[in-house]
Chain A
Amino acid sequence: MRIEGRVWVIEKDGKLIDDIDTDMIYHNKYLHITDKKEMAKYAFSNLEGWQDFPGKAKEGDIIIAGENFGCGSSRQHAVDCFIALGIKAIVAKSFGAIYKRNAINSGLAIVECKDIDKAGLKNGDVVEIDLENGDIKKDGKTIAKAKPMSPVQAAIYRAGGLFAYAKSI
């Protein structure tokens, strides 16, 4: 299972932002929205410096972030808004536990990589991620090593999400 895409390095003053919570990703004032396409408009709309993200992101892009990405509430919207934008994977140093589940269940690749801040990535770089062995490559060279997905997570991701997976078992 490989993903290739252009990256967005979510940083401030040259440092990956830690503790990006679900209100920064998708503010609670938009929680009544149930149409996933509409959610795309509000991705990062409460994250200082990144409010224009929905206008910049393209289908197939990859997000790079710091520690504890997606901490906070259990809202699925904070995952769905990225899926609606066409984001293919989120690479972070660590994730909020509920966020990680929500992403896997919806078929959004979650890549935990402690050293991603040392990989020297810039906005627009193209990386290739092998979800099974955790290799993150740029120009064919391994630039960081992520935690491989667990077998259950990989099976759910491969099926395209939890509902699709449930039909296969």
Chain B
Amino acid sequence: MPTVIEKIFQKHSKDKVEAGSTIWLDVDLRTARDFAGAQVVKNLLENYDGDYIDDSSKTFFTFDCNAPANTIGYANNQQICREFAKKNGIKVFDVNRGIGSHVVMEEGLAYPGITAVGTDSHFNILGSIGAFGQGMGDVDIAFVFKTGKTWFEVPPTVKVNFIGLPDSRWTAKDLALLCVKELKGKVLGKAIEFYGEIIDKLSLAGRITLASMVTEMGGIIGFIPPNEEVIEFCKKRANKEIKPVYADSDANYDEEIDIDVSNLEPLIALPGNPANVKRVADLPSISVDSVFIGSCTNGREEDIEAAYNILKGKKIAENVMLKIVPATRQVWQYMLDKEIMKGLFDAGAIISHATCGGCASGQIGMTGKGEVQISTSNRNFKGKQGEGDTYLASPETAAASALAGYITGVEE
């Protein structure tokens, strides 16, 4: 019987869908961001004569990498996209709106069961709501803008069963880091479906965190079966009945992997490799120069509120720079309404507008040589967020470390 990805694909393809086959896939939602967006436009202009867009109501630009632009190159590229969008009736979620993969969920453009592509390698984050999302390069995206279709090798699916429930303090980020450690090398080029009691406990924000790091696990996408919260969230925004796609119990999996989470606790990835994951408690005392809380992995309301709950009424350690970057304008609004903004400000944080921040070499979150940063983002490859050493951890661990001035978990 078909897996989740096979079911979604079969509803979007005339070809016979089975793991290993290459099919033509209809794409419901087509996006490009400020990074690569200008290349998409260039590809369209160079390769086609007018009539560039299959369906402008399904096509969007989302500016999030360098928002607002701090280089002339990015400013030019954004303007190229804006002008192309205007001529072709395409909506732009501009530099004030936030991370594209989140914006499409908030706007009700992405919901369970759809297919979506973007120029963001974490577009598979949509697996968090049971939709197929995929990051692609500018050639692919230009082709999708023009035709509404893409070719895709149907990946085999690995079923991941989480066993048990932790009795100590844990976050979705700790679960995601555990998965990167446990699944790296086992899911390359494959889809994942996540199951287990711990999944039922995850809020939408937690699901986003887990799904966002499937890229670092090496997988194509990780599907989390939508629960009531997800269905309600999407229904309200998409303004339509939501029909989630679930796998049959006898779906045809390539492999099943059990991961015991009963001892899950705060985890951290050491600089250079998201899969080099250790227990926070096992680390020697490491001083921290800067702390980055945000990104598509940990930039939701709940993530920033978790940091706020640790920081409120306190001051971060001297000489520590705390950078907070909400994922979207909606998150910003929430922080404002709940006075989280003031609490974080009083604790000593720098609070940015909604953007990808340092992950995309944006304004907030870059490090200098020798700088030690603890970041809630998803990647810490050498040079990714500047020239310093970046550790990856949860907003809670990041906030606790900002207070202490060295890497530490939350004090009970």
Taking Cβ atoms with an 8 Å cutoff, the residues of A that contact B are 19, 21, 23-24, 27-29, 31-34, 46, 67-68, 71-76, 79, 94, 96-98, 101-102, 105-106, 150-153, 156, 161-163, 166
Contact = CB atoms under 8 A, between A and B. Distances in A.
B361 A98 contact: no
B188 interface: yes
B213 to A, nearest CB: 13
A77 to B, nearest CB: 8
B108 interface: no
Interface stretch (B222-230, B295-303, B305-313, B377-385): B377-385
A75 B77 CA distance: 15
Contacts of A96: 218
Contact of A98 (B77, B136, B273): B136
A23 B381 contact: yes
B198 interface: no
Which 8 pairs between the two chains have the least Cβ-Cβ distance?
A32-B73, A102-B137, A76-B137, A152-B22, A74-B135, A105-B139, A163-B47, A74-B121
A24 B188 CA distance: 19
11 contacts: A27-B383, A28-B384, A32-B76, A67-B185, A73-B135, A74-B119, A74-B120, A101-B137, A102-B137, A105-B140, A152-B151
Nearest to A150: B22
Interface in B85-129: 119-121
Contact of A166 (B71, B147, B155, B273): B147
B296 to A, nearest CB: 12
Contact of B139 (A46, A150, A151, A162): A162
B42 interface: yes
Interface residues of B, number: 43
A34 B291 CA distance: 33
Nearest to B66: A32
A106 B120 contact: no
A105 B143 contact: yes
B324 interface: no
A108 B137 CA distance: 14
B77 A32 contact: yes
Most buried by B among A74, A105, A153, A166: A74
B335 interface: no
A163 B145 CA distance: 12
B360 interface: yes
A102 B150 CA distance: 12
A71 B218 contact: yes
B383 A163 contact: no
Contact of A34 (B42, B119, B218, B220): B42
A94 B120 contact: no
A94 B36 contact: no
A102 B185 CA distance: 21
B73 A33 contact: yes
Nearest to B384: A23
B197 interface: no
Contacts of A21: 381
Contacts of B151: 152, 156
B22 A75 contact: no
Interface in B65-88: 71, 73-74, 76-77
A90 to B, nearest CB: 15
Contact of A106 (B139, B273, B382): B139
A97 B36 contact: no
Nearest to A112: B189
B174 to A, nearest CB: 23
Contact of B137 (A28, A67, A75): A75
Contacts of B361: 28-29, 31
A68 B218 contact: yes
A98 B139 contact: no
B188 A68 contact: yes
B374 interface: no
B258 interface: no
Nearest to B44: A163
A163 B139 contact: yes
Contacts of B393: none
Interface string B204-235: 00000000000000101000000000000000
Contacts of B43: 163
Contact of A74 (B136, B146, B381): B136
A167 B120 CA distance: 27
A72 B379 CA distance: 9
